[in-house]
Structure 1
Amino acid sequence: MNQHHPATRTEHDLLGDLDVPADAYYGIHTQRAVQNFAISGIPVSIYPHFVRALAAVKQAAAVANRDLGLLPAPQADAVVAACEEIRAGKLHEQFVLDVIQGGAGTSTNMNANEVVTNRALELLGHAKGEYQYLHPLNDVNRGQSTNDVYPTAIKIALDAHIVELIDNLEVLRLALAAKATEFADVIKMGRTQLQDAVPMTLGQEFAAFAITLSEDQTRLEEARLLLHELNLGGTAIGTGLNAHPQYRERVVAELATITGIATLVSATDLIEATSDVGVFVQLSGVLKRVAVKLSKTANDLRLLSSGPRAGLNEINLPARQAGSSIMPGKVNPVIPEVVNQVAFEVIGNDVTITLAAEGGQLQLNAFEPIIAHSLFASLDHLGAAAVTLADKCVSGITANRELLHERVWNSIGLVTALSPALGYENASSVAQEALASGRGVVDLVLERGLLSQAQIDELLSVTALTSNRGGLRAPFNPDEK
């Protein structure tokens, strides 16, 4: 005869009894929060770095409490084993809460406590919900509060996200640098305010894109280091109430060992560190900087490839899909466009984070869930956008070399390169006539006998036009032949 297993189990909290799915590793506190916060439909489990970080904090706390004699070794070791499973990717689907939630993250901390407890109970040979053997609050949450666990886990998760973003930006930087090398000999007109300026190489243009990304990678590394100051051990408001006097030092050291982040340190003042979310504002500002510059690069790629007949048409972006349901043959710059949209989202997230940080009151900021969600989303989406831009756009870009060369030699901007030799008055006169007549600058200079062909060739060589390595030269004497 088959034994009947109930579909639910009953758990109890200060509000009373509530049924929880029998096979769920989460418990009553999580179940109530699921009912309360049907907001975005996006569960916390969408951010695996965050789930792993929560498990790392619980693991560090269990070890510290075990070593201080506050949690018996069998229970502590079961908690450690459960946390290691979560850190290895198991049970993430049990983190079911909406990423946007009230309560300053308390529900997510409860979710972690319950999942860790019920898995540890299984490892100890007990059933889920038999909290008399291991309790989610008395044991797994010992010496802790949401107010130090939650921001610590956010910071640990952000560290991993930043490393990934830097790596993804490096993929794009290398793709741009490769194009800089490929296009090193392609002469073109530079532009300021969308008007012809002076010649440059297409390689220089792409090298500038690559260099600006490397600057952002450095800024991200700086912001990453600021995340390593923790309020763990401060419990509710930073006073350390209900934590062992040695717990703070031990738990931070253990967390550094578990995560491999050797630079984790305890904040000088835990009360200040518990109420302050300035580090998240700082990181968001850096992400906004990355987004703005990445979007500017995407804008330039769209502009340089515009046309192909009625635009600049200097470069060709790889065709990725049909561009129109009505215009046959039209191909759109869809990859730069999606990068632009990610940038718009990140800039909007920065506003959200700014308002959430400003909205904190007294000893706690209750709005860290939306701060965390916004930062995680910005980091993930920027990284995906960078790799997409590299792989599906930049790596396949080609140059319209002949067209670029022709435009340089027909450009009024050439007169700027000749003006040191011609003098400003002569140069202005040549430019005015070239613009009015449509004739080339070089032809007019030769016709007027202002410079010889040899002198023009030297002044308008690719090296002379695009590099200042030769320094300033004395003006040419038009009488020298």
Structure 2
Amino acid sequence: MTEDYRIESDSLVGDVKVPEDALYGPQTQVALENFNISELRFDREFIRTLGLVKDAAARANVELDLLDEARGEAIQQAAGEVTDGEHDDEFQLNIFQLGSGTNTNMNANEVIANRAAELLGEERGSRHVHPNDHVNKGQSSNDVIPTTIHVSTRVAVESQLLPELTRLQEELEAKATAFDDIVKTGRTHLQDATPIRLGQEFSGYASQMEHGVERIEGTRDSLEELAIGGTAVGTGLNTHPEFPELVVSHVSDETGITFREAENHFEAQAARDAIVELSGAMKTVAVSLMKVTNDLRWLSSGPRSGLGEISLPTVQPSGSSIMPGKLNPVICEAVNQVAAQVIGNDTAITTAGHAGGNFEINVMKPVMAYNALQSVQLLGSACELLADQIVPGIEAKTNICERNADRSLSLVTALAPAVGYDLAASIAGEALAEDETLEEVTLKRNVLDQEKLDRLLDPRRMTSRGYLADEDRSD
């Protein structure tokens, strides 16, 4: 921006000095001055979608003979440039602004109006194409911003999150298959438990991702309802009856996703439940990711004084600034931080969803939009990192897994049906106290013979359902 200014007049804010080379107008300039709170801005996906909605609205207005063709085509071209990212520098408003998102809606209206005027041979600020009368025709911030939130998050989920989450699921499933023959000790409460196969453990991780995909997919229907056409409070005042259907149709054509007009415009504008629903599903995915990456950190701990049952691929030459050769699970730790951020975003979205909604409008929409889109992007990138750099390179340390399984005192669980719980507990207690094996104590007590012990204390047999001691019951 230069230091030269033009003077623009607005019916609400009066005469305003606007940078001469800016496409935005007086309302945006005043908002820039008023909301200097943070460096947080709407991301590319949101601005891209806002341009798309304005394009669709102009098309609908021309088709309904509510907007002359020359202005309509110029608005469509200017809105298309916004969609393509040609004017991103014009969208510098803070997300902490008027809670309806009116400032950003007017930012788009002014940019598109001035650019359309230029395309028609007029000067910026001429109002030959009016930001309200022409660009915002048949619309309100109260239906444009909710529509933009739904479309942008729905598209982002489909393009950024679901493909990567699905790919992570597939990589974990591949490891579950590869590790299916490896027996190890299970752990509950961070203590030894009955045996499990490493593949079974990884199948649990894959299932978490599969359920995550299903949860995210379950939000599609809610996000596909669009508020456009409700204008100020949901009644549709100053909007042609066919306007919302046409806008939704154009948006659907452009995105390849079948959107629909909201069944109830009052709900669609007064509440932001669909975004709360999406955020809740993403929070659950974040929790799943943190569980999996924490397990991977524990299982790979060591290399000499930890569990060391798996090894993670080395993605950095050194993990310490002071300890040479130390390798840390850096990707897992990065993903944990992503999960923490997404969980925090969900708290903000949940708060905004209930505390921001009063009567016919929610007045915390910008922060909800920002956090939801950030969560989509962060989760997608985290899944991509795990699927690309970590999971395919995980290797099992079979000897350590099997050694730990053989040494686990929890193997005594398989003896309980044959000798009773109390005697089994006594055998385990003596084995621990005397540093002996379960087999040694059981034979010493002459409780079971060697053949039965070999069958009952086989860790692999314990990884399947059923009683191993049906034929050995003493009662």
TM-score by length of 2: 0.92
Partner SS state of residue 17, structure 1 = strand
2:286 equivalent to 1:288: no
1:476 pairs, out of 457, 471, 474, with: 471
Superposed CA deviations along residues 358-394 of structure 1, whole A, max 9, x for unmatched, are 2222221111111111111111112212222332322
Q: Distance in 2 between matches of 1:306 and 1:284?
A: 32
Structure 2 residue aligned with 1:229: 225
Following superposition, the deviation at residue 451 of structure 1 comes to 4.6
1:238 pairs, out of 234, 256, 279, with: 234
2:207 equivalent to 1:207: no
Letter in 1 for 2:248: V
Map 1:450-465; keep pairs closer than 5 Å.
450-451=447-448, 453-461=450-458, 463-465=460-462
Following superposition, the deviation at residue 450 of structure 1 comes to 4.6
- Give the conservation status (yes or no) of the 8 Å contact 2:456–2:468: no
2:154 equivalent to 1:159: yes
Q: Distance in 2 between matches of 1:315 and 1:83?
A: 53
Partner SS state of residue 218, structure 2 = helix
Superposed CA deviations along residues 220-240 of structure 1, whole A, max 9, x for unmatched, are 111122111122111111111
Superposed CA deviations along residues 72-114 of structure 1, whole A, max 9, x for unmatched, are 1121122222223333333223222122222420111011112
- Give the conservation status (yes or no) of the 8 Å contact 1:295–1:343: yes
Structure 1 residue aligned with 2:301: 306
Q: Distance in 1 between matches of 2:105 and 2:148?
A: 10
Q: Distance in 2 between matches of 1:248 and 1:387?
A: 37
Following superposition, the deviation at residue 287 of structure 1 comes to 1.5
Superposed CA deviations along residues 31-82 of structure 1, whole A, max 9, x for unmatched, are 22111212221332xx222112111211121111111111011211222222
Structure 2 residue aligned with 1:382: 379
- Give the conservation status (yes or no) of the 8 Å contact 1:100–1:373: no
Structure 2 residue aligned with 1:139: 134
Partner SS state of residue 12, structure 1 = strand
Q: Distance in 2 between matches of 1:358 and 1:478?
A: 59
Q: Distance in 2 between matches of 1:97 and 1:376?
A: 17
Q: Distance in 2 between matches of 1:112 and 1:401?
A: 60
Letter in 2 for 1:299: N
Q: 1:309 to 1:72 in 2, by over 3 A?
A: same
Following superposition, the deviation at residue 416 of structure 1 comes to 1.4
- Give the conservation status (yes or no) of the 8 Å contact 2:99–2:365: no
Q: 1:244 to 1:415 in 2, by over 3 A?
A: same
1:82 pairs, out of 74, 78, 88, with: 78
Q: Distance in 2 between matches of 1:452 and 1:189?
A: 24
Partner SS state of residue 405, structure 1 = helix
Following superposition, the deviation at residue 474 of structure 1 comes to 5.8
Following superposition, the deviation at residue 298 of structure 1 comes to 1.6
Map 1:15-164; keep pairs closer than 5 Å.
15-44=13-42, 47-132=43-128, 134-163=129-158, 164=160
Q: Distance in 2 between matches of 1:432 and 1:41?
A: 61
Q: Distance in 2 between matches of 1:477 and 1:241?
A: 80
Partner SS state of residue 240, structure 1 = coil
1:424 pairs, out of 409, 421, 425, with: 421
Structure 2 residue aligned with 1:368: 365
Q: 1:455 to 1:60 in 2, by over 3 A?
A: same
Letter in 2 for 1:247: F
Following superposition, the deviation at residue 459 of structure 1 comes to 4.1
Q: 1:106 to 1:230 in 2, by over 3 A?
A: same
Superposed CA deviations along residues 239-262 of structure 1, whole A, max 9, x for unmatched, are 111112322333223322232221
Following superposition, the deviation at residue 449 of structure 1 comes to 5.3
Q: Alignment length, in residue pairs?
A: 469
- Give the conservation status (yes or no) of the 8 Å contact 1:113–1:136: yes
Partner SS state of residue 358, structure 2 = coil
**Which deviates more, 450-459 or 55-64?**
450-459
2:410 equivalent to 1:413: yes
Letter in 2 for 1:351: T
Letter in 1 for 2:37: I
- Give the conservation status (yes or no) of the 8 Å contact 1:450–1:478: no
Superposed CA deviations along residues 142-201 of structure 1, whole A, max 9, x for unmatched, are 000000000100110000221121112123222222221221111100011111110011
Q: Distance in 1 between matches of 2:268 and 2:206?
A: 37
- Give the conservation status (yes or no) of the 8 Å contact 2:47–2:83: yes
Following superposition, the deviation at residue 269 of structure 1 comes to 2.6
1:345 pairs, out of 337, 341, 346, with: 341
Letter in 2 for 1:36: N
Letter in 1 for 2:23: Y
Q: Distance in 1 between matches of 2:289 and 2:195?
A: 24
TM-score by length of 1: 0.91
Structure 2 residue aligned with 1:185: 181
- Give the conservation status (yes or no) of the 8 Å contact 1:422–1:476: no
**Which deviates more, 243-252 or 340-349?**
243-252
Q: 1:428 to 1:43 in 2, by over 3 A?
A: closer
Letter in 2 for 1:52: R
- Give the conservation status (yes or no) of the 8 Å contact 1:411–1:440: no
Following superposition, the deviation at residue 453 of structure 1 comes to 4.9
Structure 2 residue aligned with 1:269: 264
Structure 2 residue aligned with 1:195: 191
Structure 1 residue aligned with 2:329: 333
Aligned-pair identity in percent equals 46
- Give the conservation status (yes or no) of the 8 Å contact 1:314–1:404: yes
Q: Give 5+ residue unaligned stretches, structure 1.
A: none
Letter in 2 for 1:349: N
Partner SS state of residue 199, structure 1 = strand
Q: Distance in 1 between matches of 2:256 and 2:410?
A: 56
Letter in 2 for 1:211: S
